[in-house]
Each structure stands twice: as structure tokens, then as C-alpha cells.
Amino acid sequence: MWTQFLRGLRSRGLDGVQLVVSDSHAGLVAAIETVFLGAAWQRCRVHFVRDVLAKVPKGSGEMVAATIRTIFAQADAEAVRTHLGTVASMLGRQFPQVEQMLVGASVDITAFADFPTGHWKKIWSTNLERLNREVKRRADVVQVFPNPAAWGGWRGRCWPRCTTSGR
């Protein structure tokens, strides 16, 4: 299914893909590797942190999430990867499973660091939930799209603002 979807995108002109950001759905990751040869894959940090938080007590979640976020606040690729090891070791004292998750996903959650730092904030996460909420909010106002052209026009006006405004 994912391979067919991605091949459809390629057949409609998508090429030159350097990086794909997604959750860690095994079928999607395999399709990305098959269809976009040579493209890097970045595991969405939001999804990764959610997976980690599912393994720690609720009372520790905020501290764990904040500590993991410091990985992404580093100035360069080397510092990102070094700090990931530091954070994994530090959290591992209290949460060994979190250390295993961080070490196991280290390549997946730091792929963004191989790109220019000016792009980092846009590529370390998919922010799909935010986009989906915005589409739903705006579609609820319209209620009904009378035809595909009306949906396409609305999407063309909304989508760029939803994906580039930083909201």
C-alpha cells in the first residue's frame, strides 16, 4: 500500500527527495527506502517522544520529554549526536528502557542534523497533527465542498499557511 502510494507521487512528478520525515511505521519506512533510493529518513521527534512517554510513569513524563528536547537544541550535528548519548545515559539510570529506545533510534531521530541548521526546525518533525487540526477547523467552517474544484481551491489557499506559518 505505502509503496504504491509513494510510487504514485513519483509518477506525478515528485523527485529529488533528499529527506522523508514520518513516524516509524515499518511498512512506510520500507516503502520510503524502496521508492526514494538515497533519501534519508527522519523519525518524527514528536512521535518518538510520545513512544518514550508511554514507557515512563506519568509523573516523570514532563522531565523526560524536556530532557529529550535538549538533544534538538544543539548548535551542530556533532553536538546533537554527542548530546543524545549523554541524555540516553543520564535517563538510563532511572529508565533503562528509555536509554535503549534513544540508543536504538539514534540514527533515526538525528537524520535532520545532516542538513543545514537553518532547515532543522522544519524537518525534525512532521507536525501532521497540527496540520490535520487546522484542516479540520477550517473545513468545519465551510461544512460542505460542492465539488472537487472547491476543495482544491480551499486546500491551495489553506495548505501553504498551515505548513509554513510556524503554527
- Residue-range domain boundaries for the chain: 2-122, 128-164
Check whether 156 has a pLDDT greater than 50: yes
% the chain with pLDDT above 90: 63
Please report the pLDDT score of residue 77 as a whole number: 96
Q: Please give the pLDDT value at position 155.
A: 61
Average pLDDT over residues 117-122: 88
What does each C-alpha distance from 47 to 3, 21, 24, 109, 128 come to in angstroms? 22, 11, 8, 10, 10
